[in-house]
Structure 1
Amino acid sequence: MPIFRFAPSPNGELHLGHAFSALLNQALASVAGGTLLVRLEDIDLARCSPVLEARLLDDLAWLGIVSAHPPRRQSEHFADYAAALEALQSEGLVYPAFMTRGDVREHAQNCEHASGIAYPRDPDGAYLYPGEEKRLSRSEQQAMVDDGQPFAWRLDMQAALSRTGPVQFCELSGDEGTVEVQAEPHLWGDVILARRDVPTSYHLSVVVDDALQSISHVVRGADLMPSTSVHRVLQSLLGLPEPLYHHHRLILDADGGKLSKSRGSTSLAALRAAGLTPLDIARMVGLQDIQLSASAEIEHPER
């Protein structure tokens, strides 16, 4: 049976972009004769809270989103992510990285000043991690860890790709069914998989959860398409199944920018308080005839 998932973070109010993704996932699950699961990606314990979680679930219930099972809270499953990280550690594919963001920025700017060439950045615009620690022996790395220096566990992308070789993912694309997309994980460099204070990251937890929940279809915003390259590498390294993907259009604000919690985009709660109905919300995101519109989204995702 096809299994879809909607996986928001309870670190702020849901907005129209979340509503579109949730409604689209539910409609596509229905069309496919499958089910929808709600997952709470709450690994950021400093920003996520029970109050925000309760508001999020209330918004989804009001919208008509029905999860086939109680939501999975990532904060309750750190042991699952730790086991995956240990598997990668045992293969020598991760290393402790001690440079802070400020250190990386200083290193990159010094390189740019010396060479006159722009230092490489990842798809999110952040400077790639230099990976100086990979030159150290394991005993030297461990000595720094034992000394109490703050660090994060990073994936050695070059070593990882030497194991996996080229990776691809299958993107649902309307009349063509699926299109094979060549992944470009090298563009991300050595991504963080866990921190000393948080034993996982978005990249690691999402692939572990998708596998444990038998997710067959990952339907999410087009802004997350570059991340799929990292996820496919991790799935390959950990022997996890590969879902089908569909990266849907984004709901934009009046200025053409992506809706986001950090930018204070109008929340579903505010729209509810203003008297709007779930049908109004569906109309606002172009899913007023939810079944037909969902199919059209797959056929014409560029809208």
Structure 2
Amino acid sequence: MFRFAPSPNGDLHLGHALSALLNAEAAAASGGRMRVRIEDIDGERSRPAFVARILEDLDWLGIAYERPVRRQSDHLASYQGALVHLAALGLTYPSFASRAAVRAATEAEAARTGRPAPRDPDGAPLHPGLDRDLDPAAAAARIAAGEPHAMRLRMDRAVALAGPLSWRERDVDPDGHPTGTVRRVAADPAAWGDVVLARKDAPASYHLAVVVDDAAEGITEVIRGADLFHATAVHRLLQVLLGLPEPVYRHHRLILGEDGRKLSKSAGSAGLRALRAAGATPADIRRLVGL
């Protein structure tokens, strides 16, 4: 079982087209099934109007997928259940520190030690465990008062409970096609620090929702962009903690813009609708993404 999981916060671009086409190609070649998941859990950024546009673009590309599509907003109880499970293991805590406070704390620690401020694999300041040891009653009172907060994973305890971790990675050639080799990759979730599991405006983070969704849909192979390679360490950790099955992963090359950066919906990067309006055909899109 394969899946393509866009967020409805903009139109699809060439990077999405590559991922969708590779998933559809793999499903067809293996006699497998293809699902589409709408990751609309972020209420502030998701727009219902984009859902129809995304599905229209996929149909235009000739992507065959099963219906109905899964929408994250229909499964909030599943994510809450996962949070409850992790809390029962003593692995979650509410953190009231803003991004600015996290950045300030890491910079202060860097100044004190003379070492560079620690960062996660995406380059963001590494959460230093602020609020880990708050009095539970005091924390509950702040939550009841409506103070903004995020539920974070206590990474030190989680890693100790899970033990050594790795994931199965299917190697690919420069075009993104599988070579036939599946190798074990050592996972280092601690490199991400105390990751966010949920916040007030998002009932589940990407990390939590994606592992719950993949398990619920029976996804056996995850094909996605190389920008998510290192995040797989967190996903493997959560799968172990939640008792979820382990898919095989395949991370394909990214389509970059003229500035050398990953394409972005927010920047309107190489949007499929714009290319269609300019006369592009599905065959042109395949050529543009190197397939």
TM class, shorter-chain normalised? over 0.9
Residue 271 of structure 1 is matched in structure 2 by 275
Q: Deviations over 1:237-282 (max 9, x none)?
A: 0000000000001112233221111333120001000111101111
In 2: Cα distance, 1:217 partner to 1:19 partner: 18
In 2: Cα distance, 1:254 partner to 1:197 partner: 33
Q: Deviations over 1:22-73 (max 9, x none)?
A: 0110001111110110000011112111111111111111111121221101
Residue 19 of structure 1 aligns with an amino acid whose one-letter code is A
- DSSP-derived class of the 1:135 partner: coil
2:166 maps to which of 148, 165, 168: 168
User: What displacement does 1:116 show?
Assistant: 2.0
2:66 maps to which of 53, 60, 68: 68
- DSSP-derived class of the 2:64 partner: coil
In 2: Cα distance, 1:150 partner to 1:10 partner: 25
1:233 maps to which of 221, 234, 237: 237
User: What displacement does 1:170 show?
Assistant: 0.2
User: What displacement does 1:175 show?
Assistant: 4.3
Residue 175 of structure 2 is matched in structure 1 by none
Corresponding position: 1:260 with 2:256: no
Corresponding position: 1:285 with 2:289: yes
Residue 25 of structure 1 aligns with an amino acid whose one-letter code is N
- DSSP-derived class of the 1:114 partner: helix
Residue 229 of structure 2 aligns with an amino acid whose one-letter code is M
In 2: Cα distance, 1:228 partner to 1:70 partner: 27
Residue 10 of structure 1 aligns with an amino acid whose one-letter code is P
Structure 1, 14-23 or 60-69: larger mean CA deviation:
60-69
After superposition, where does 1:148-227 map in structure 2 within 5 Å? 148-173=146-171, 174-175=178-179, 177-227=181-231
Q: Deviations over 1:61-117 (max 9, x none)?
A: 111112122110101111110010011011110000110011111112222222221
Structure 1, 169-178 or 276-285: larger mean CA deviation:
169-178
1:247 maps to which of 229, 244, 251: 251
Residue 22 of structure 2 is matched in structure 1 by 24
Q: 1:106 to 1:10 in 2, by over 3 A?
A: same
Corresponding position: 1:52 with 2:50: yes
In 2: Cα distance, 1:250 partner to 1:197 partner: 29
Structure 1, 74-83 or 128-137: larger mean CA deviation:
128-137
User: What displacement does 1:141 show?
Assistant: 2.7
Q: Deviations over 1:118-140 (max 9, x none)?
A: 12111111111121322234333
Q: Which runs of 5+ in 2 are unaligned?
A: 172-177
In 2: Cα distance, 1:46 partner to 1:165 partner: 36
**Percent identical across equivalent pairs?**
54
In 1: Cα distance, 2:180 partner to 2:163 partner: 26
The structure carrying a bigger helix percent of its residues is: 1
In 2: Cα distance, 1:147 partner to 1:283 partner: 55
Q: 1:97 to 1:211 in 2, by over 3 A?
A: same
Q: How many residues align?
A: 285
User: What displacement does 1:176 show?
Assistant: 5.2
Residue 37 of structure 1 is matched in structure 2 by 35
In 1: Cα distance, 2:287 partner to 2:23 partner: 16
Q: 1:269 to 1:176 in 2, by over 3 A?
A: closer
User: What displacement does 1:284 show?
Assistant: 1.2
Residue 101 of structure 2 is matched in structure 1 by 103
Residue 189 of structure 2 aligns with an amino acid whose one-letter code is P
Residue 92 of structure 1 is matched in structure 2 by 90
- DSSP-derived class of the 2:235 partner: helix
